[in-house]
Structures are given as C-alpha cells and as structure tokens.
Chain A
C-alpha cells in the first residue's frame, strides 16, 4: 500500500526529524479486529531519510510499538517494548497512530543543506506461531528490525509505505 507524497510531512524536533501523516491509519482491517478481540498487535516502523537523490538513504530509524485495546474502556494503549519507558494509554485510534509517529525520530545533525526525502514504512508484526495471536517480543532489537525490513512483507502482514515531497532541513517547521 502506498499514498501520494503530500501525505507524509516532515517536522523538525530539535536534533531529530519526525513525520506526521494526517491520512495515515494503520489501526484498520485484520489488525483492528485482533485488537478488538483483546489481542496485542505489534507494529514495526522504519523511517528513512534520503539526501541528494531518493535512493541515497543516509539516516534510518527503526521502532516497534505494541498496541492493545482496552475491552472495557474501548480505548487504545501503546507501548514501546524495547525499554517500556515510553507508553501511552486511553487513546483514540487516531491518537494512538499519531503517538507512534511522534516517538519515531531520525537524526538530523548530519543531513546538512541537501535536498531530502523522507520515507515511512509500517508493518504489522508477523505472529511467531499460528497458535499465539497474543504474541510479544519485549526484547526486540534494532538489528532484528533491520532484518525484518530487509525482507519483503509476507502476504499475511498488513503494510503501508509513504514518501514525502522533497524538502530541506532549514525549511522544516517544528
């Protein structure tokens, strides 16, 4: 799945670049059904920044966010499982999606004044085994995430990809 480049908007956040995507909705389809059934669903994120030409990726950020849905409160909760310090609960679906993007940061200090492009890729994590849809991997490492994004998504995985228009670091709004 992919959308037009106007839908991914880079923002400056101190020494980092983050993105916003007002029309991005990954809490949908099978993943949303599993969440409503009380499962947890991890989503893997990759944010790449290319400089000069689109194929020259000079910065990458990887994250896994684990989403669950409170069957009583009917609100979403998100945890960044690699350190558990980052979490948020009592969120609407849109707020949960935005929270994930707010906590996905790529370093900006080495980018200079070149023309840049941002590319965002999201995948619902593949269950470790068919019997356990309530899966989790608290110790997921960035190396594992690199491995995940080096392979094409499997048919059973929900996945999304977005690209921004060309931009320069100096032009970014906070």
Chain B
C-alpha cells in the first residue's frame, strides 16, 4: 500500500509546487553525447582476447565506419546489438582504452556466451520449386561446458531421399583443454522417395548401390574434434547406422563407418573493406566389417570454398569432388541438382539414385545484394562416362538480422541445355 501511495503523494507534491520543470529535451534539439569520451576518435575496434568471430559483411562494414570517427555511444550500442544477434550471444559489451595516438581510443568488444543457456534457431531453411521445402529447427541448452541440442528436420534437398525425423546431440565443449571436444549424436529418420527413384531402384539401374530402399534409418555417432592448429581441426568418430527395410519381414542392414574429417578455415581482413575467406575440408567415411557393418565401402569427399570481397563486390568459388569405392547405401551417394549445386537442374533427372563419383564447381559474383552464379558439374557411376552439366542463375542475397548466420537467398536458376528452359525458383536461409 505504501508503495502505491508514495508515487501518488510525490506526484501531487510536485504538481502543486512545480519546483523545476519536469521535461526532457525538446524533440528538435538533438541530445548531445553524455560520454566525455565522445570527443575522442575511434582508433580500432576488436574483440577481447583477440577472438575472431564470423560476422556478416554488414556488421564488418558498420565496424569499419565507426573506426576513424568520433566515438558515439549510440552507434556502439547499435553495433553491440547487431553482433549480439548475429552471434546469438547473451551479452555484448565494450570497453574503451587509450589509443596509440593522443585523443584516440580503442574499443574492445566483449562477447559473453556463457550466461545464455537456451537457444532456439533455424540453422537451415530452403525452398526449391521442384523439390519442395527443407528445414531444420534446433533447440539447444548449455550447462557449464556441456551443450544439449534437439532438432527436428525434414530434408528433401541434400540426398536422393527425403528424410524426416529428429536429432539429439550432446557436446562436451572442452576435455581438459579447449583443443579437444567430444560429441555424441543420435538421429532417427523416416524416408520418402521420389517416384523416379523407386522406378530406378526397381530396374536395378545402379550396380554399385549397397542397399535398396529403406523405410527408416537410425544413427548413433560419437566423435572427438581436435584443434590441431587455430584454423585446422580434425574430427575422428564412428557412425553406427541401421537401415530398416521397406518390408517388415526383411532383415535390417547396418552401415557402420569410421568417420574422419579434416577441416581448414581461415579468413583475412583488412581495414579497407577487403576480406578473403578460405574453407577447405576432407571427409572420409569407411564402412568395415570390423565394426559389424553389413555394407562395406569407402567414401571420400573434398570441398573447397574461397570468397573474396572488395567493398560492395564479391566473388565466391566452390569446388567439390567425391568418390565412393564399394557398395554404399542411398544416403551416402552423391547428388547434384539441389539448392546449392547445379541449381536449375532437377536431381531426379540427373540421376535419381545419385552416383558414386561427383565433381562440381560454382562461381558466384555479388554486387551489393545482387548475385549471379554459374554452376558446372557431373555425377556418375564408376565405369560410365561422366556428362558435364551447366546452369546459371540470378538472385538477391542479404542478411536477416537475428537469423543471419549466412544469409537468405532468392534466386531463379536455369539449366543450360538445348531445347526449352525451365526456370527453378530457389529461396533459402542460412545455407
């Protein structure tokens, strides 16, 4: 009661006596900086501990704009909010320190990821007018150095089959040292097949296919990631995959593999809005009877992505090559003609069962939000002649604030071939 009466009493006293005007600044007068440090020039903006975070082009541009200008707390607040959204951090704060030159200050951004222990996200979403939509939604919680993630997925894009189900994952973020991480993942999917795939399976078009159509598959995958050097990581693990047959009387088959991934990621930035990014990886999956696998095969995949950006222009080049020895199941086989490869082609027209050999490259030129791309590649089975395919397209790509990990893309893509051209509309986010 006292708390309720106090403001009323105080307000009555104030209104009756009007000691001093209770007004803010008139709208037409801009509020001056309250921070005495606003008279200093920003010399640099960096992260505490010299951490490097993957930020959007827009965020990096905003940082570059603030460098060399007088300190503005409002502008720094905007930047902090943007970075907090992009990194999905609990808090982004900043500190000022003396600069190297007189009347200059350095801004140190401090990203706090520890306090936020629950996160909902959509790491992937895409729509292809021929193949429908694909989406992954995840909920993650971090307790101490442990992250628990649960996700729901329906993906009709990246494999010859559409798989729908859930994934559960546990990550131990450090094991004695920050250079070692552990992960355990469990996935359970139900499969759907395009008619073209079922027809091809029925006619036995691929002799290298290790298993027919399966109704569902489950996967248990423990792994350990070692940070060999700052940009170079090695992941060693095993995958125990069980394929339930379409006919319940039949025996399920297993594809138990050793999984090794070597990944290199590095980016170079300079203050004049130039930056380069290189991402390269080699993935080996070897299914062996030593792990009790019914299917035996070895799958190699190499991919390289290089991006160069100069102010508003960018060029991105990707290269992928893969090969499978032995009889791998459908989910391991390579496909082209999805939302990121040979865009414009229908993957079921190219090869409804996928292939055990693949080569693909792509070049994308960007100016502001405009994108123009050219894809070339081939997917085939060993012993057959590869046929090169090409496609091109145009679209727009930009960030989406809080959702931005990569960007969203709206594009129209055309397969390059004789005869009529059937454009494909592609929309995607974070891929």
Contact = CB atoms under 8 A, between A and B. Distances in A.
A93 interface: no
B97 A143 contact: no
A134 B40 contact: no
Contacts of A61: 19
Given A60-B14, A130-B90, A146-B14, A71 B98 contact: yes
Nearest to A135: B77
B35 interface: yes
Contact of B13 (A39, A58, A89, A149): A58
Interface stretch (A79-87, A153-161, A164-172): A79-87
Nearest to B115: A130
Contacts of A59: 13, 17
B129 interface: no
A110 B36 contact: no
A37 B24 contact: no
Interface string B17-41: 1011111110000011011110010
B91 A82 contact: no
Given A40-B73, A132-B81, A147-B7, A70 B34 contact: no
Interface in A132-151: 132-136, 138-143, 146-147, 149-151
Contact of B3 (A133, A134, A151): A151
A71 B14 contact: no
B105 A71 contact: yes
Interface in A107-140: 107, 110, 130-136, 138-140
A138 B19 contact: no
A72 B14 contact: no
Main secondary structure of the interface of B (DSSP, over half): mixed
Contacts, number: 117
Interface residues of A, number: 46
A77 interface: yes
A121 to B, nearest CB: 12
A138 B25 contact: yes
Interface residues of B toward A: which range? 35 or more
A134 B73 contact: yes
B289 interface: no
B369 interface: no
B35 A143 contact: no
B96 interface: yes
A146 B11 contact: yes
A35 to B, nearest CB: 10
Nearest to B108: A37
Contacts of A130: 90-91
B34 A37 contact: no
Given A70-B37, A146-B7, A150-B7, A140 B91 contact: no
A56 B25 CA distance: 33
B23 A141 contact: yes
Given A37-B95, A61-B19, A139 B3 contact: no
Contacts of B23: 82-83, 139, 141
Of the candidates B4, B19, B35, B84, the one having the most CB atoms from chain A within 10 angstroms of its own CB is B35
A35 B174 CA distance: 34
A66 interface: yes
A69 interface: yes
B246 interface: no
Contact of B10 (A60, A132, A133, A136): A60
Interface string A32-68: 0000011110000000000000000111111000101
Interface string B142-168: 000000000000000000000000000
Nearest to B83: A131
Contacts of B34: 40, 66, 68, 79, 81, 136, 138
A133 B110 CA distance: 12
A82 B24 contact: yes
Interface string B83-101: 0100000111111111000
A70 to B, nearest CB: 5
Contacts of B73: 40, 134, 136
A72 B98 contact: yes
A9 B11 CA distance: 26
Nearest to A76: B36
Given A37-B95, A60-B14, A138-B31, A150 B3 contact: yes
B76 interface: yes
Contacts of A141: 22-24
B55 to A, nearest CB: 15
Nearest to A107: B19
B31 A68 contact: no
B103 interface: yes
A69 B37 CA distance: 7
A110 B383 CA distance: 103
A68 B35 contact: yes
Given A38-B94, A60-B14, A132-B80, 19 more contacts: A37-B96, A38-B96, A40-B35, A58-B13, A59-B13, A59-B17, A61-B19, A70-B37, A72-B102, A72-B105, A79-B34, A81-B34, A84-B32, A138-B31, A139-B23, A141-B22, A143-B11, A149-B10, A152-B3
25 contacts: A37-B96, A38-B37, A38-B94, A39-B35, A57-B9, A68-B34, A68-B35, A68-B37, A70-B37, A71-B98, A72-B102, A72-B103, A79-B34, A84-B25, A84-B31, A107-B17, A130-B90, A131-B81, A131-B84, A131-B92, A133-B94, A134-B35, A140-B24, A146-B11, A150-B6
